[in-house]
Amino acid sequence: IGVAEDSNNNNDKNHDDNEILRWNQCCVAILKRTPTLLQAIRTTKSVFYPNTNKHHKDDDDDDNNLFPPPLRDPHYSFIYGMETPKDFPRQHLSNVPPDFISKELVLMWTYPATLQGVEQWTEVGRIYLSDERKEIV
């Protein structure tokens, strides 16, 4: 579990009076890149973006193309905010388990891609990875 920030400034947005607003994924868990997970992501992208040139077989060797910056890794985002990594209160992470087993995958439509837009993001679909469908708290 850690903090992610876009070092390439790809998430900076111009605002009133030329103020730069910056938002980031304050708390993330990096997922293990398994062949099954990578194939599921490739399949999903081919379904949602069937006519793009980005997902040809030639690109399969470069798994980094599957994941956008700043992390370029499959991950769960738990917290979004305006804090920079150095300002994020790390004591909030002290009670988080070092690893866990996910029982479901959720595909989210993440538009608009701004901090204010997070509340508008919607669930597209959910896949249960086991027969257990207990509510995750």
Q: What is the secondary structure of 64-121 as a DSSP string?
A: GGGS-TTT-S-EEEEEEES--TTTS-GGGGTTS-S-----EEEEEE--S-STGGGGG-
d(CA 38, CA 26): 24
What token pair was written down for 72?
A: 């370029």
Distances (CA, A) of 9 to 12, 13, 70, 76, 87: 5, 9, 9, 21, 17
Instruction: Give the whole-number percent of the chain exceeding pLDDT 90.
Output: 3
Q: State the pTM of this model.
A: 0.53
Stated length of the chain? 137
- pLDDT class for 129, splitting at 50, 70, 90? confident
Residue 4 phi/psi, 5-degree rounding, is -125, 140
**Quick check: 123 pLDDT over 90?**
yes
What token pair was written down for 124?
A: 């597209």
**Quick check: 68 pLDDT over 90?**
no
**Quick check: 19 pLDDT over 50?**
no
